[in-house]
């Protein structure tokens, strides 16, 4: 490698998107740069009265196969790839009359955009770029001598270089744009692979996300953090400060939880777990009931609902301090009320279908799993005890099971009248989780008489149902599957408790 500057004398331009190109070619022409181009780009440049040579005149070979083969020729790739400081390369360049190409401006056929338009396979295949991506890779490889511009988003930077440096480029600049080029080409290839792999199911981890947001810090101030993705697909931020790393974790948990409910529901989350949740035909009442479960933890929490928030509801919510509120909409009056705190984050949730798989980094790799989309309804319950739960109990059991699914294991949820009474979360034993939940309900003066209990996994012993029964709980929902299920069932039968199983465990770590 060398650190000398390189003068742009010849440019190859072939782009799908023409916007922003006019000023570039005018500046190149002003600097006396020879321009070579193809097809529509050639016509575009020609229309400005700027001298431009066609690729065909350079290669003495026509565009063939409906334009599939235009630039794939030794004179083009040789002009890009030969090393200017290598005597063997320069001798061969002279021998074979290969013109030097110092600047390559090429973008790619819009495969990803075409995919989003639900195009048929033939249309998609024709949007798989071959010549363009080859030119980009060739120019990026030879960054020691060649500058590659691989996106219209880079035109402003190029224009600045051309203007301020009179068509000269530094090694640092060329190396930067080479890295950008491989970023673009690798993302492009990944999207094509993911499309083709939908039916082939080749088991490999490939992800590429172009959008990035730098966050203030990670879980703690000493940790750097970024978010890769487009948050605007999920929600619109109507008010408040920049969303933090911890906010994002809570928002993710909140949206996943609220999506479980069809009826009007409010949930309050803290550290990814619900500390309050209630469903009610009246949304304001749902909020009041949700807050009752743990008004202490609600301080500084994340609030989520699945119904538009009106001014009456907003007045009640505004009585406490919280970081984030998420809803499908807000009335103007409600928004005015909630915007009274300048840093409060207000998010309007959009309809969005989340991908079916989840990824997580562990050790020196990544694990992948299917998203836990299983939530049972009444027709999927298995009645395990002599006493069957009544309709109200079934509603509460299903409600509690949705909550325990989104609680950190080991988890126990206690509920009544579709209201979270208390939960025990993140405990090393199920008994400890239950005791934590019972103590919490008592501390806030909430009666457990005729309440229901949900467990994220089976009961290995009968101790949990016994402790629950002694606290007033009379119905239980659990996955089942323990070799000692009979012990818990026998206890319930002897003490007039109802138990149902779902057959589905919901560990969450």
Separation between Cα atoms, residue 391 and residue 484, nearest integer Å: 28
> Measured between alpha carbons, how far apart are the two ends of the chain, in Å?
49
Q: Is 175 a catalytic residue?
A: no
Using the structure block, give the residue that is written with the tokens 């740069």.
Answer: 33
Q: What are phi and psi of 158, to 5 degrees?
A: -65, -45
Nearest to 62, CA basis, from 73, 77, 52, 78: 73
Q: Is 141 a catalytic residue?
A: yes
Exactly one of 18, 46, 75, 141 is catalytic; name it: 141
Three-state secondary structure call for residue 415? strand
DSSP 8-state secondary structure symbol assigned to residue 69:
B
Using the structure block, give the residue that is written with the tokens 């949700």.
Answer: 290
pLDDT at 389: 97
Q: Are 476 and 500 in contact (CB under 8 A)?
A: yes
Exactly one of 18, 271, 388, 435 is catalytic; name it: 271
Using the structure block, give the residue that is written with the tokens 């490889």.
Answer: 141
Strands (E), 428-469: 452-455
Q: Are 414 and 453 in contact (CB under 8 A)?
A: yes
Using the structure block, give the residue that is written with the tokens 């000269």.
Answer: 168
Separation between Cα atoms, residue 366 and residue 174, nearest integer Å: 33
pTM for this prediction:
0.88
pLDDT at 65: 82
pLDDT at 3: 56
pLDDT tens, residue order, the chain (509 aa): 455 899 999 999 999 999 999 999 999 999 999 999 988 999 999 999 999 998 888 887 787 787 787 778 899 999 999 999 999 999 999 999 999 999 999 999 999 999 989 889 899 999 999 999 999 999 999 999 999 999 999 999 999 999 999 999 999 999 999 999 999 999 999 999 999 998 888 999 999 999 999 999 999 999 999 999 999 999 999 999 999 999 999 999 999 999 999 999 999 999 999 999 999 999 999 999 999 999 999 999 999 999 999 999 999 999 999 999 999 999 999 999 999 999 999 999 999 999 999 999 999 999 999 999 998 999 999 999 999 999 999 999 999 999 999 999 999 999 999 999 999 999 999 999 999 999 999 999 999 999 999 999 999 999 999 999 999 999 999 999 999 999 999 999 999 999 999 999 999 99
């Amino acid at each position: 490698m060398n650190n000398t500057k390189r003068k742009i004398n010849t440019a190859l331009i072939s782009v799908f998107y023409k916007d922003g190109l006019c000023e570039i070619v005018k500046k190149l022409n002003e600097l006396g740069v020879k321009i070579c181009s193809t097809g529509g780009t050639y016509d575009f440049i020609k229309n400005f009265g700027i001298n431009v040579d066609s690729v065909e005149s350079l290669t003495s070979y026509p565009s063939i196969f409906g334009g599939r083969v235009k630039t794939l020729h030794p004179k083009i790739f040789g002009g890009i790839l030969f090393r200017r400081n290598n005597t063997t390369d320069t001798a061969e360049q002279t021998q074979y009359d290969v013109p030097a190409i110092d600047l390559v401006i090429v973008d790619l056929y819009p495969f990803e955009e075409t995919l989003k338009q639900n195009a048929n396979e033939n249309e998609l295949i024709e949007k798989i770029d071959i010549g363009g991506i080859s030119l980009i890779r060739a120019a990026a490889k030879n960054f020691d001598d060649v500058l590659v511009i691989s996106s219209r988003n880079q035109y402003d930077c190029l224009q600045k270089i051309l203007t301020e440096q009179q068509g000269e480029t530094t090694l640092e600049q060329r190396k930067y744009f080479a890295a950008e080029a491989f970023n673009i080409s690798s993302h492009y290839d990944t999207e094509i692979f993911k499309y083709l792999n939908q039916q082939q199911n080749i088991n490999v981890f490939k992800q590429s996300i172009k959008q990035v947001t730098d966050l203030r810090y990670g879980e703690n101030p000493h940790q750097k953090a970024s978010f890769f993705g487009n948050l605007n697909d999920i929600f619109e931020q109507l008010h408040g400060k920049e969303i933090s790393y911890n906010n994002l974790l809570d928002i993710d948990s909140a949206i996943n939880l609220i999506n479980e409910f069809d009826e009007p529901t409010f949930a309050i989350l803290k550290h990814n777990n619900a500390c309050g949740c209630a469903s009610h035909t009246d949304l304001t009442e749902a909020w009041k009931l949700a807050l009752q479960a743990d008004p202490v933890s609600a301080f500084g929490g994340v609030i989520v609902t699945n119904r538009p928030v009106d001014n009456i509801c907003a007045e009640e919510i505004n009585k406490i301090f919280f970081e984030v509120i998420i809803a499908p909409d807000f009335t103007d009056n409600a928004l005015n009320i909630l915007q009274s705190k300048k840093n409060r984050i207000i998010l309007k949730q959009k309809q969005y279908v989340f991908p079916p798989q989840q990824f997580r980094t562990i050790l020196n790799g990544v694990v992948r799993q299917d998203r836990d989309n299983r939530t049972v309804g009444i027709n999927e319950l298995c009645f395990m005890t002599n006493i069957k739960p009544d309709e109200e109990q079934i509603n509460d059991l299903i409600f509690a099971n949705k909550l325990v699914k989104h609680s950190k294991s080991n988890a126990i949820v206690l509920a009544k009248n579709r209201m979270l009474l208390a939960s025990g979360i993140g405990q090393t034993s199920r008994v400890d989780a239950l005791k934590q939940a019972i103590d919490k309900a008592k501390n806030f003066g909430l009666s457990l008489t005729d309440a229901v209990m949900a467990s994220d996994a089976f009961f290995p012993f009968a101790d949990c149902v016994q402790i629950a029964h002694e606290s007033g709980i009379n119905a239980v929902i659990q996955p089942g599957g323990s070799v000692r299920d009979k012990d818990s069932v026998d206890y319930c039968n002897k003490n007039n408790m109802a138990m149902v199983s779902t057959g589905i465990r919901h560990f969450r770590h």
